[in-house]
Amino acid sequence: MILAIDMGNSNIVVGGIDNKQIYFLERITTHTTRTELEYSMYIKGILDIHGVKTKDIEGAILSSVVPPLNITVKNAVKKILGIECMLVESGMKTGLNILMDNPKSVGSDMIVDAIAAMSEYPLPLAVIDMGTATTISVVDEHGNYIGGIIHPGLRISLDTLSSKTAQLPQVNLDIPKKVIAKNTVDSMRSGILFGHAGMMDGIISRMEEELGQKLNVVATGGLAPFVTPLCKHDIIVDDNLLLKGLLKLYIKNQ
């Protein structure tokens, strides 16, 4: 088993995975002020909760979009496991041909998602990751990463709406029953969720027009289950996409 860590701006996903199965998957909040000791306690706590002994873990890999925390989390892993944590970065063997103006600027999470998706789903692909930002990446029929979009995420949009308007409350992201809402809370929920679904549908349709091909669409991220049921496109939800991609990268770079 390896320890796979995906560090996003809002949450850090910590999972245990090998070629047979995913043993555990948990999330902790990302805080740039936490020390390596604090992160080591959180990660060790996750292992203890799931009954995983440190000797059961043969390696570790980290994908991060929060560079200031990279060394902190790597040191936290070493403190617990006594091994070096591999970092997803430019220069790694990925097997993915990135056709971008500056390939090094592509987020590691987007690369990991694409690597996992193209190994499990037919090409060409649109890969959606719904976190702090919603990203949609495209892998063409030849397995090339050809680009995509970055859009403000659901939670950012909702929190901004609540914080910048005096009379609008904080609301939970429950799936609305209909678009035309009858009260303020439901109106906000409907606007954010159906609006995001409409954005995704519109972007995917435009991507298909540019490519001249129909895209197979797979989505991941904690918010994907709230939005994908409202989309008109057929979208496969794969919660474990990042973990599977991290395992593939770890094996390829051993």
The residue ranges of every structural domain in the chain are 2-87, 97-245
Q: Which two tokens stand for residue 175?
A: 């799936």
140 is catalytic: no
The one-digit pLDDT tens for each residue of the chain (254 residues) are: 999 999 988 889 999 999 989 999 999 999 999 999 999 999 999 999 999 999 999 999 999 999 999 999 999 999 999 999 999 987 788 888 899 998 888 888 899 999 999 999 999 999 999 988 899 999 999 999 999 999 988 877 777 776 666 555 566 777 888 899 888 888 888 888 999 999 999 999 999 999 999 999 999 988 898 899 999 999 999 989 999 999 999 999 98
Q: Is the peptide bond before 124 cis (omega within 30 degrees of 0)?
A: yes
| pLDDT given for residue 116 in this prediction | 93
| pLDDT given for residue 187 in this prediction | 87
Is 185 annotated as ligand-binding?
Answer: no
Please tell me which residue in 109, 113, 140, 238 is annotated as part of the active site: 109
CATH architecture of 2-87: 2-Layer Sandwich (3.30)
| pLDDT given for residue 126 in this prediction | 97
Amino acid at 75: N
Radius of gyration (C-alpha) of the chain in whole angstroms: 19
Q: Is residue 237 classed as helix, strand or coil in its secondary structure?
A: strand
| pLDDT given for residue 203 in this prediction | 97
What is 97-245's CATH topology?
Answer: Nucleotidyltransferase; domain 5 (3.30.420)
Is 108 annotated as ligand-binding?
Answer: yes
| pLDDT given for residue 163 in this prediction | 67
| pLDDT given for residue 51 in this prediction | 95
Is 110 annotated as ligand-binding?
Answer: yes
Q: Tokens 């995704």 sit at which residue?
A: 200
CA dist 171 → 5, 140, 189, 193, 197 (Å): 29, 38, 7, 12, 18
Is 217 annotated as ligand-binding?
Answer: no
Q: Do domains 2-87 and 97-245 have the same CATH topology?
A: yes
Please give the sequence-ordered ranges of beta strands (E in DSSP) within 55-214, or none if there are none. 59-64, 85-87, 97-98, 125-130, 133-139, 144-152
Strand 97-98 with 85-87, pairing: unpaired
Calpha distance 207→216 (Å, rounded): 11
| pLDDT given for residue 91 in this prediction | 78
pTM, 2 dp:
0.86
Q: Which of 14, 9, 16, 38 is nearest to 26 (CA)?
A: 14
Is 12 annotated as ligand-binding?
Answer: yes
